[in-house]
Structure 1
Amino acid sequence: MVKIEPFDVEQWMDKYETIPEVLNIAETCAASISIDDLVGLCEDPNVPHPLKTSTKLTYGAIRGSAALRERLATLYSARVSSPLSPENVLITPGAIAANFLLLYTLIGPGDHVVCMYPTYQQLYSVPKSLGADVSLWKLRREKKWIPDLDDLKALVNDKTKMIIINNPNNPTGATTPKSVLQALVEFAREKDIIILSDEVYRPLFHGVSPVDEDFPPSILSMGYSKTICTGSMSKAYSLAGIRIGWIASRDRSIIEEIAAARDYTTIAVSQLDDQVATYALSSSVMHALLGRNIKLAKTNFAILESFIDENRRVCSWVKPTGGTTALVKFENNGKPVDDVQFCIDVIEKTKVMFIPASKCFGPEFEGCVRIGFVSETEVLKEALLKLGEYVRANLS
């Protein structure tokens, strides 16, 4: 029997996010939008409505519609000499299904996997459940949560089949720079190791600019065929409710192997979800949607930064540069708080919800909480106002 570890972050969310009038700053999606909102962002009034209600609701295109895969392939073909083919993209029910499916297909007993840590628990718990030996490539606060290649090299052995990264990173909000990605790719190529990059928060960068020398591209643009990336419409695109994710790789054989395995799992995605995603990724909509979310991230980042500065006697952070999350450390009398009890007490007394890092990401992160700060701005403001009142009354 496969042993699955409890998925702590998801169980915490399930337990608390439905509390009436909760101020949810645990959510990791950029503030969600409706179909009406999406249509309102469209810059071309002649573009048809995303939902074609006359479509017969068959399984549809098993690998995802040609239009959706073409639009995703175009995104991964920017600024590279070799365009990505739509046949190298596979559509899945969210990135969580994408990650599970590819790990289920490619990893098994006897394999060794190295996974960036902290990160989304699925990325290291699923390989372990499949019988793989898993080593954690630990990020360090003193290095601003940027991975160290020497640490990685000490973990890799002759059985290492895959290196897993998450860029931008959840929960720290750190981005792995281009120079580190290049060194990682060169090392993996020498060892013939697959790199999986979970890029669900890409391209939501708010603290680093595309003109910066070290701006991180997608792993697929780094010139190594044995790279895989996963993504979704949930985080950077504000459309978690349509459950659309994807797997992309320049190695067609990897995609074909995963496509064969999916026959035992999800078969296809909803045609309606596919239509909405295709609309959102059209040139008439995507730029406005991402512009909205990057602006929201920058606005809210400044609000959270101001809160931390005002309460620096009890809280601190490494400023995130991408994604929607920040890892914030709270102290009381100079010692890390019990972050689990802290989160419970805050939600019971203020209705403000965030995630205890020691429970959901590892005991090394005692005293830290993960805040999802790209919610509606008014929600964040109200939550931080109440949290400020709480910490001034209870922490010293």
Structure 2
Amino acid sequence: MIVEQFGVEDWMDRYEEGARYNITDTCARPLTLNELFSLTGEDKKDFMESFFQREQTYGPIWGDKALKQEIAGLYEHIRPEQILTEHGATGGNQHIFFSLIRPGDRVIAFAPSYQQFYSAPRSLGAQVTVLHLKKERGYLPDLEELRSAAKAGVRMICLNNPNNPTGSLIPRDMMEEIVHIAEEAGAYLFCDEVYAGAAQTKKDRCPSVADLYEKGIATGSMSKSFSLAGLRLGWLATRSEKALAQFRRVRDYDLVSCGLFDEAVAALALRHKEKLLERNRAIVRHNLPLLEEWVEKEKHASFVKPKAGTMALVYYDFDMPSALFCHRMYYETGAFTVPGDCFEEPFSFRVGYGHDPETLVKGLEAVSAFFHILEKE
């Protein structure tokens, strides 16, 4: 197995810890546990007393029943037994690939998107076709291009909706067409939906692929839209019994079960899912206009306004590779962003706007300061 360098994660590993203005993180502003209990109105003392009485053995192998009941509430047609908890959505994604992708299988993925969707299948010996999402199309898939690619036969189509790093959102009618393409090919349709729920307006939502298609497989997590990345708790959901049987078989080799504490806190949080989502929608709806105003005023910057999620891809007009651009900007002004090269989209960088507005404003001012430095060179 040859594993490619994971561009965005490697970049975050090297630069995030010492960043002065981190304006590229894609989680909605993380909650402390004190904030979680305050927001939900749950009794922290009762929770801890109860949890401290539990034996620290393995948890339920396929996930805590109470937690899976709450996760099922995020879907229209998914039952708790059609859900498996995972070590974050990244772990769930990898579990899907290791379970279903075989050497020689054809896989279709998209870029810019999360690199795992094409690099992980490629490492397993799959033949991966990467279709490019174009700025002028609002980063939405070209259905004719997808249909043509799928005609040669395909094992799995991989999506990210809402999209990281662009914040684009595939609408329901387009997703139904994608489902039809997958169905005609007999393919699995896998969609990472970790940013679902963090939309700009009420109409900006799309049903889960797990609800729309029997062979649809969705992943989610407590990290992005629910602000609890420290739990390292995600899940996968599908109505395909064949896929679920394979997931359970492979799971025994590398996961066994998730942490008791992680699942207990996640279950508590998801009992109040609407409160968490309401909080985080308010954050992104307040902060996106700050980013939009900066882009409109900054002559060197442009972007396609996001529909959902917590991030945007911002372009600049200097003739400088984005990795060098972001490296220099980090050390010369303190602004920390991820280069577009990590998403196969040159002359751009990812901005996350889900954190506190003060850091966002100061970080964007630092980006402008770097633009001024480049103007003088």
TM-score after normalising by structure 1: 0.91
Of Structure 1 and Structure 2, the greater helix share is in 2
Secondary structure of 2:324's partner? Answer: helix
- Which of the numbers 99, 109, 130 marks the counterpart of 2:103? 109
1:214-273 deviation digits (Å, cap 9, x = unpaired): x41111222x21110001110111111000000100112211210110100011110000
In 2, Cα distance between the equivalents of 1:46 and 1:53? Answer: 12
- Within the alignment, does 1:290 sit opposite 2:277 as a pair? yes
Secondary structure of 1:75's partner? Answer: coil
- Give the match for residue 392 of structure 1: 372
Asked if 1 retains the 8 angstrom alpha-carbon contact of 2:67 and 2:263, the reply is yes
Asked if 2 retains the 8 angstrom alpha-carbon contact of 1:232 and 1:245, the reply is yes
- Which of the numbers 348, 352, 358 marks the counterpart of 2:335? 352
Asked if 1 retains the 8 angstrom alpha-carbon contact of 2:153 and 2:185, the reply is no
Asked if 1 retains the 8 angstrom alpha-carbon contact of 2:60 and 2:257, the reply is yes
- Give the match for residue 9 of structure 1: 8
- Give the match for residue 310 of structure 1: 297
- Within the alignment, does 1:252 sit opposite 2:232 as a pair? no
In 2, Cα distance between the equivalents of 1:298 and 1:395? Answer: 32
Asked if 1 retains the 8 angstrom alpha-carbon contact of 2:101 and 2:124, the reply is yes
Mapping for residues 128-147 of structure 1, pairs under 5 Å: 128-147=122-141
Q: CA deviation at 1:197?
A: 0.7
Q: CA deviation at 1:203?
A: 1.4
Q: CA deviation at 1:49?
A: 3.0
- Give the match for residue 250 of structure 2: 261
1:37-77 deviation digits (Å, cap 9, x = unpaired): 10011146699537722211111111110001111112112
Asked if 1 retains the 8 angstrom alpha-carbon contact of 2:37 and 2:43, the reply is no
In 2, Cα distance between the equivalents of 1:370 and 1:84? Answer: 33
- Within the alignment, does 1:382 sit opposite 2:376 as a pair? no
Query: Counterpart amino acid of 2:281?
Result: I
Q: CA deviation at 1:194?
A: 0.8
Secondary structure of 1:230's partner? Answer: strand
Q: CA deviation at 1:387?
A: 2.1
- Give the match for residue 202 of structure 2: 209
In 1, Cα distance between the equivalents of 2:195 and 2:290? Answer: 20
- Give the match for residue 189 of structure 2: 195
Asked if 2 retains the 8 angstrom alpha-carbon contact of 1:167 and 1:176, the reply is yes
In 2, Cα distance between the equivalents of 1:226 and 1:389? Answer: 49
Asked if 1 retains the 8 angstrom alpha-carbon contact of 2:58 and 2:259, the reply is yes
- Give the match for residue 80 of structure 1: none
Q: CA deviation at 1:385?
A: 2.2
Query: Counterpart amino acid of 2:337?
Result: F
In 1, Cα distance between the equivalents of 2:245 and 2:198? Answer: 29
Note the residue ranges of structure 2 that are not aligned, 5 or more in a row.
none
Q: CA deviation at 1:154?
A: 1.8
Q: Which moved more, 1:163-172 or 1:44-53?
A: 44-53
Equivalent residues, number: 375
Q: Among the aligned pairs, what percent are the same residue?
A: 35
1:119-173 deviation digits (Å, cap 9, x = unpaired): 1111110100001000012211111111111010121244411111100001111
Query: Counterpart amino acid of 2:202?
Result: S
Q: Which moved more, 1:188-197 or 1:41-50?
A: 41-50
In 2, Cα distance between the equivalents of 1:308 and 1:178? Answer: 29
In 2, Cα distance between the equivalents of 1:46 and 1:343? Answer: 42
Asked if 2 retains the 8 angstrom alpha-carbon contact of 1:200 and 1:230, the reply is yes
Mapping for residues 265-276 of structure 1, pairs under 5 Å: 265-276=254-265
TM-score after normalising by structure 2: 0.95
Q: Residues 231 and 47 (structure 1 numbering): CA distance in 2 closer, same or farther, change over 3 Å?
A: farther
- Give the match for residue 47 of structure 2: 49
Asked if 2 retains the 8 angstrom alpha-carbon contact of 1:220 and 1:227, the reply is yes
Query: Counterpart amino acid of 2:24?
Result: A
